Structure 1
Amino acid sequence: MKQFNQTSQKIMLAIQITKASLLICFFFILWYLLYEQNKLFLTGEQANNTETLTEVHLSSPSTLSSNITLNTINNNDSIENPLNELKELNKRYCGNPTCKFLFVYNFGEQETKANLHFRSFSQLAEKLNRTMILTNVGSSQISVCQNFSFNLYYNVTLLKKEFPNVLYKSEDDFILWLKERDQIKNKLNNINNNEVIPPLSILHSNLRRYDITSETIYRNVKPVVSLSECLSKFGPFMNLTDPNNSRVKYTIMDITKFDLKTEQSRAKFSKLLIDDLSVNEEILLVNSYVLDPLFPVIMPVIPYNDYILNEAQKLKEKLSSSYIGIHWRLEQSRPELLPECAQGLIITLNKIMKEEGIENIYLATDYPLLSSSSQSDTFTKITNYHHDAIRMLNETFKINTWVSLGGLEQLRKNEKYDTEFIGPGIQGILDKLVCVNSNYFIAGPKGCSRILSTFTKAIADERSNRLDSGLLNVIDRWKIPL
């Protein structure tokens, strides 16, 4: 009986504990339901506030928080992101949050001189801390009007080693920068409904050697309406006539020939040039015709593309590595004197071949080889005297040229480069390299040839640096027989 009572008490105690537990659970569930209902009510009220903010300030409610202060921060972020995009764009292209370009869109002369000028402006880009555009090439020029990228002629990798402190970008890179900048500008200005990123800031400067002036003058000028039409290929992202797209200032520098003649005068001039062109504009756009170096130190020739160097080596091997190189630039010769000029060249060649034991001849000339057009833009009047002189030479010797030896065959088979071989072009660089490597080198005398030829001088200068490699001379000029 006693055991039964103890069992009953345990059961009653368990029932009481269970009732207490159920009661606690009930109140806990009731409290939870009331809390959630209140939470839902508050969230709905805040959502109503969010919709009002969206209508006034933002375009997408998905970016909003339930906190009003955070809404303001997110609103600012949505505006500042394009600014950050612009900085990142500039860092990607220029290595700095702000891009500053030097774009010399026309170098004014054929490749040999243009090569010299490009080096001078690379020095300027370094002094101004500007990214330099690798202007297109073609037809023996460095110009925005040409169709081929800079590396058709030149080795950009070696150029960068020559100027390690200059950042170079191609015309295609420049177009991409213009396009992306324009997209970011439109995005930010539309979001803010105000102009935040301004139009492109451009300084257009025309640099020219002006021989009639007694001192170098740099001045502002009115807008230049006769700019190269080829600049239009950068539109609509760079439009020089639309003030909403580009804000352009125009200047001109007339440079005396005396300021560029000596190392001392160039040292003085270059300081003036750097001071005048140290500006804040994003783009320094330059049309150049200066003829001479701009800085006291003249940098080495821009290295040529490996393809051209390999072609020069192939031609040298076809000439059995022993040959006389001739540069006969017929432009500015006296046509009626050309038969005597040809006779003098024949006498000179016979003498050299006999004395030096050289059997092969290579001719570099502006005379037409592939078409009726000469290989110089400025040599247009070709007479029977010119034809007769070349005929006399061919009838006496086997005359090799880049055409007869199959030079640049790969490019010549590609229709893309057809225009490059009508007139001056990449073949001029090949001629120069083959003549530099010749065992003996001769050029025309006064009356028979253009004496003040930068092309001829460049060959002679390079040969003077290679005399210890077995060359027989630097340069000789044949004589007209009396």
Structure 2
Amino acid sequence: MPHRLDAQMYRTEPHMQTARTPRPLAYSSVFVFVSLSIFFVLLCRNSADLTSSDIDAPGPLSPPSDLLSSSPLSDPFPPSAADSPAPSTDLPEALRIQDADSAAFDIFALAFQPPNRDGVRTLPRVDRTHLAKLDALALLLDPHDTSNPLYSAPADNSDHLYADTVDTPHFSDTPKLQWPPTVTALPAPPVQRRPTDLTLCGATRCRFLLPLRISEPEARARHHVAQLARLAHALNRTLVLPNVGKGRLGACFRWPLGRYYDIDSLDVDLHTPGADDHEGYDADDGLDGLFDDTSTVRAVSLDAFQQWTRGRGSNPPSAQIAWLSARQDGALEHADIYSGPSLVAGMLTSGIDEVASRLPGCLDTKFALALEAYTPVFVRPSRKALKTGTAGAAVARALLDDQLALAWQNTDAENNTGTALQPADVLVVNWDLRVPLFPSPLELEYSAALTAAARAMAPPAPYVAVDWRMDNLAADAVGDCARSLVGALSGALLVHEDIHDVWLGLDVPLGLGKVEELDASALQALQERGVREQHVDGARFVTRAFRSGGELDGWEVRGYEEFDNAGLSMETLQDGGVRDIINRLIGEGAALFVASGESCGKPSASTQSLMENRKTAFSESSGPSVLRNDVLHFERS
């Protein structure tokens, strides 16, 4: 059924079969036109290919010779004057670039390509490789070669000051200056010459006495500096002045001796090279004006000594350790060589490493010394000789004895001769003496800076000075000791009605003005500077007594906050030795002096020295004096 319907649907009617309609003429015309167009396009394309092949026949980057030599009559599109090719010149070999696919070609002919017959200029194909070659060739050009096409002669009236110093061709008449100038090399560091033996020691070979450690604290150690100078003089050696720091003296500390003391007060004829004799090391160490040229005892700063040792390079100076003490160190083995009524002397046989381990560590890290050659020695003066003042000469004779001074360690059988021919260059002294070796000891006075700071910080005279050591005080004892101190001050101030100011010297740099404002975070920050909780509690209790309604109302208290007006830095204030010196200087000028007893804080060596000086001055004063007491102790109630 579906097939039958399809047959009827496409059946031709009878009237349509009787006459056939002819094909229209337009269809044939369209076909012919399209065919001709395709043929014409193909013909034009073929002609364009032939023209391009004729131009590029000599090479892809070189113009054809027939086009370069063609006349204007044969070319319907002659080039203009501006487009005319560059005149041919004999170029140097450096200006010709070798291509991988063709012979050497002319870079200037390449740049001046003529147009083709259609009036279109064919641009040359130049990639980064060609640009790099051209840049390299420009650097090889001789700036003075007149045959160089890029050469441009300077004008007659131009002044080329830098013409002879330029290493590239002149592309313009005016030289191009660059600012800032190009840095081609870093400047060499200045050569630091080491001080010579002759300028440093006054001899062709230096021999030093280096006080490595002075065992006593600052208040007593300053008495030993003059002792060391006299010993160096007796041994014909140059004294190395010790450094200071943390209330101690020795070679391992940070600051020069002049930070604590006035070296001019050392009444000994010492000598050190003047500013004109120094060769490369810093002479600004507080020694200027201390020494003269006629003296027989010489001294140098520790910095100058260090530079001298470093200047020896691979040949470090020889050194020998000398242990001076009134008691024998039981940890070190020894062999007695000389024993008499004045002293016992001998060699330390424990070995250099074990002996050095008993000394400060800076001996190995701070100084370049050869300690292996000489055997360490010891000298132990007797108590009787120390009391009578005859120990100094005996100690000097023992250290000059060949059995000690030339004690040689047989550590290297290949290079060791078995006998030392001369004493060591450096005698490293461990000074563990409490009593002076020589009679009539001198002591150093304090530096002018610290003396001026103490005067600026001290209350108006007359005043009371308090020294309270709480560092090792138990926390439960702070309140009882603070009440005892307030009571002692109240009783003393009521008797001396003309005194209105109190100096509270603590063993930490704690300002009293803001002690009530300290919170937990501020206290934690202060703990890094040595301030403990008991210090804050004790200071709070005392300062509250001076406030309105307190037991000491009407009197003024001041403390370390006065450092702001003293001209000293916070770094200086952090040093415990500086604080002790300030307290001692203020205490020496106080009308009344109050110090903590054993139960409220053991007095330091500095406080004990101050009390001894006040007792001596108070007992010797027969007339009017600034001192109204020697010391008043307060104890735990």
Q: TM-score range by the shorter chain?
A: 0.5 to 0.7
Whole-Å separation in 2 of the counterparts to 1:105 and 1:312: 30
Partner residue in 1 for 2:209: 102
Aligned AA (1:157): D
Whole-Å separation in 1 of the counterparts to 2:325 and 2:309: 28
SS in 2 for 1:312: helix
Partner residue in 2 for 1:456: 607
Partner residue in 2 for 1:240: 370
What is the aligned residue count? 357
Task: Give deviations 1:356-384, integer Å, cap 9, x for gaps.
Answer: 22111112221452732576xxxx9x564
**Kept after mapping to 1: 8 A contact 2:217/2:605:** no
Aligned AA (1:231): L
Q: Describe the shift of the 1:255–1:372 C-alpha distance in structure 2 as closer, same or farther (beyond 3 A).
A: farther
**Kept after mapping to 2: 8 A contact 1:131/1:166:** yes
**Kept after mapping to 2: 8 A contact 1:460/1:475:** yes
Deviation, 1:455, is 0.9
Whole-Å separation in 2 of the counterparts to 1:350 and 1:449: 20
SS in 1 for 2:446: coil
**Kept after mapping to 2: 8 A contact 1:352/1:358:** no
Q: Describe the shift of the 1:259–1:211 C-alpha distance in structure 2 as closer, same or farther (beyond 3 A).
A: farther
1:369-380 to 2 correspondence within 5 Å?
Answer: 369=510, 371-372=526-527
Corresponding position: 1:403 with 2:532? no
1:47-58 to 2 correspondence within 5 Å?
Answer: none
Corresponding position: 1:270 with 2:392? yes
Q: Describe the shift of the 1:476–1:425 C-alpha distance in structure 2 as closer, same or farther (beyond 3 A).
A: closer
Whole-Å separation in 2 of the counterparts to 1:346 and 1:199: 60
**Kept after mapping to 2: 8 A contact 1:344/1:478:** no
Structure 2 portions without partners, runs of 5+: 1-193, 271-294, 331-338, 406-422, 512-525, 547-555
**Kept after mapping to 2: 8 A contact 1:331/1:450:** no
The structure 2 residue matched to 1:117, chosen from 224, 233, 238, is 224
Whole-Å separation in 1 of the counterparts to 2:384 and 2:479: 42
Partner residue in 1 for 2:587: 435
Whole-Å separation in 1 of the counterparts to 2:376 and 2:489: 54
Partner residue in 2 for 1:75: none
Partner residue in 1 for 2:74: none
SS in 2 for 1:200: coil
Deviation, 1:104, is 0.4
Whole-Å separation in 2 of the counterparts to 1:390 and 1:293: 37
Partner residue in 2 for 1:19: none
Whole-Å separation in 2 of the counterparts to 1:259 and 1:212: 20
Task: Give deviations 1:374-423, integer Å, cap 9, x for gaps.
Answer: 76xxxx9x564x543332212113432233452654422xxxxx3x5445
Partner residue in 2 for 1:23: none
Whole-Å separation in 1 of the counterparts to 2:379 and 2:527: 39
Q: Describe the shift of the 1:255–1:395 C-alpha distance in structure 2 as closer, same or farther (beyond 3 A).
A: farther
Task: Give deviations 1:251-281, integer Å, cap 9, x for gaps.
Answer: 234567x458x632xx243333212222432
1:317-396 to 2 correspondence within 5 Å?
Answer: 319-333=459-473, 336-356=476-496, 357-367=498-508, 369=510, 371-372=526-527, 382=532, 384=534, 387-396=536-545
Whole-Å separation in 2 of the counterparts to 1:132 and 1:311: 30
**Kept after mapping to 1: 8 A contact 2:210/2:426:** yes
Partner residue in 2 for 1:210: 327
**Kept after mapping to 2: 8 A contact 1:263/1:297:** no
Q: Describe the shift of the 1:209–1:390 C-alpha distance in structure 2 as closer, same or farther (beyond 3 A).
A: farther
Whole-Å separation in 2 of the counterparts to 1:97 and 1:206: 28
Partner residue in 1 for 2:631: 476
Q: Describe the shift of the 1:283–1:259 C-alpha distance in structure 2 as closer, same or farther (beyond 3 A).
A: farther
1:178-217 to 2 correspondence within 5 Å?
Answer: 178-180=309-311, 182=312, 200-210=317-327, 216=344
Q: Describe the shift of the 1:448–1:127 C-alpha distance in structure 2 as closer, same or farther (beyond 3 A).
A: same
Corresponding position: 1:228 with 2:352? no
SS in 2 for 1:177: helix
Whole-Å separation in 2 of the counterparts to 1:407 and 1:219: 54
Whole-Å separation in 2 of the counterparts to 1:388 and 1:429: 24
SS in 2 for 1:361: strand
Partner residue in 1 for 2:34: none
Whole-Å separation in 1 of the counterparts to 2:629 and 2:378: 40
Q: Describe the shift of the 1:211–1:344 C-alpha distance in structure 2 as closer, same or farther (beyond 3 A).
A: farther
Greater shift in the superposed pair: 154-163 or 279-288: 154-163
Structure 1 portions without partners, runs of 5+: 1-85, 187-197, 413-417
Whole-Å separation in 2 of the counterparts to 1:165 and 1:325: 44
The structure 2 residue matched to 1:219, chosen from 326, 333, 347, is 347
Deviation, 1:460, is 2.8
**Kept after mapping to 2: 8 A contact 1:328/1:365:** yes
Whole-Å separation in 2 of the counterparts to 1:91 and 1:437: 46
Task: Give deviations 1:37-67, integer Å, cap 9, x for gaps.
Answer: xxxxxxxxxxxxxxxxxxxxxxxxxxxxxxx
Deviation, 1:204, is 1.0
**Kept after mapping to 2: 8 A contact 1:440/1:472:** yes
Whole-Å separation in 2 of the counterparts to 1:128 and 1:424: 34
SS in 1 for 2:564: coil
Partner residue in 1 for 2:175: none
Partner residue in 2 for 1:143: 250
TM-score, structure 1 as length reference? 0.64
Whole-Å separation in 2 of the counterparts to 1:400 and 1:306: 23
Whole-Å separation in 1 of the counterparts to 2:266 and 2:253: 20
Whole-Å separation in 1 of the counterparts to 2:301 and 2:464: 38
Whole-Å separation in 1 of the counterparts to 2:635 and 2:307: 57
**Kept after mapping to 2: 8 A contact 1:90/1:98:** yes
Partner residue in 2 for 1:173: 304
1 or 2 for the larger relative contact order (CA 8 Å, sep ≥6)? 1
Which structure: greater helix fraction? 1
Deviation, 1:233, is 5.1
Partner residue in 2 for 1:195: none
SS in 2 for 1:403: helix
Q: Describe the shift of the 1:179–1:346 C-alpha distance in structure 2 as closer, same or farther (beyond 3 A).
A: same
Whole-Å separation in 2 of the counterparts to 1:362 and 1:325: 5
Q: Describe the shift of the 1:390–1:234 C-alpha distance in structure 2 as closer, same or farther (beyond 3 A).
A: closer
SS in 1 for 2:489: helix
Whole-Å separation in 1 of the counterparts to 2:488 and 2:241: 43
Task: Give deviations 1:412-449, integer Å, cap 9, x for gaps.
Answer: 2xxxxx3x544513222122111111122121222112
Whole-Å separation in 2 of the counterparts to 1:431 and 1:407: 16
Deviation, 1:126, is 2.7
SS in 1 for 2:196: helix
**Kept after mapping to 1: 8 A contact 2:379/2:395:** no
Q: Describe the shift of the 1:142–1:445 C-alpha distance in structure 2 as closer, same or farther (beyond 3 A).
A: same
Whole-Å separation in 2 of the counterparts to 1:94 and 1:423: 33
**Kept after mapping to 2: 8 A contact 1:116/1:293:** no
Whole-Å separation in 2 of the counterparts to 1:478 and 1:199: 54
Corresponding position: 1:309 with 2:451? yes
Identity of aligned residues (%): 19
**Kept after mapping to 1: 8 A contact 2:477/2:636:** no
Aligned AA (1:359): H
Task: Give deviations 1:219-276, integer Å, cap 9, x for gaps.
Answer: 23321342433234555xx2336x6xxx3431234567x458x632xx2433332122
